[in-house]
Every structure is written in C-alpha cells, then in structure tokens.
Amino acid sequence: MALDRKPREADISTLRTALSDPDACVRRTAAPLLGRIEAPRAVEALTAALRDPSETTREMAALGLGIGEPPSALQPLIASLGDASPRVRAMAAWALGELENPSAIPALSALLRDADSRVRRAAAQALGEIEDPAAIPALTNLLRDDRDPDV
C-alpha cells in the first residue's frame, strides 16, 4: 500500500486486521497508517481500538487518531483520558491537543492532577496546542503547584 495514492477498501481492512495482530510491532505500525487515511472506516477502526484489551493497541489507536485529527474522535479520546494505563491517558491527551478543540479543555484541565507526571505533561502540552484563553487558569495552577520540573 502506497500512501501517495487514495487508499482502497482493502488497505483499510488489512490495517484494521493488523490492529489485532499478536505482534505489538505490527499494531504500532498499523495505527499511524490508519490515522493517515481520511476515510470513515479507518476512523471507526481506530475508535474501536481505543477499547481493545491491549494497552499498546489502545495507545497506538490514540496516536492514529491524533495523526488523522478527525473531529469525530473528540469524545472517544476524552473517554480514553480515564483509561487505567498512564501511557494511554498521555497519548489520548496528546491526540486531543492535535484536534485543537476547545471542548476538550475541561477534561484536559482535570488531567493536570493525574498521579503520573507524563500524563500531566501531555495534558499541559495539549492545552497549549489548543491555544484558548480558557486553559490559562488550569495551566497557571499547574505551574505554581506541580513539583516535577519536567511538567
């Protein structure tokens, strides 16, 4: 499959199947490729993968959605901010920053209190990507209160 041509339905089906491959490397490759395909079936596959039992698959699905930036991914990504895995929460936060939708500000602001510093950092970066003044109070509190220099 070449990315310089319009994807065929078979490409989407192949990549969708690859999202369930037992090899994590295959899943890590399939999700970003699906994200680059601007087709509803590709977005549906990535959105469904956000609920996969595999942490790696959920994380890569969020990556793919962040790459593709489909507006329909907003609510599924917000829901992924509550995932048990810090890696998934951080990637979902990053993806929401890529969407740049101010509707994500409340959920990302709440994530600034996450126990994992990587998640807090991703949420702060996402709020910066959205570039909306509504994010300033939450970011100001984070800068004042967070003791992790990386955040």
- CATH for 9-145 is 1.25.10.10
Can you give the pTM of this predicted structure? 0.89
Residue 16, pLDDT above cutoff 80: yes
Give the separation between CA 18 and CA 31, rounded to whole angstroms.
Answer: 8
Q: How confident is the model at residue 99 (pLDDT cuts 50, 70, 90)?
A: very high
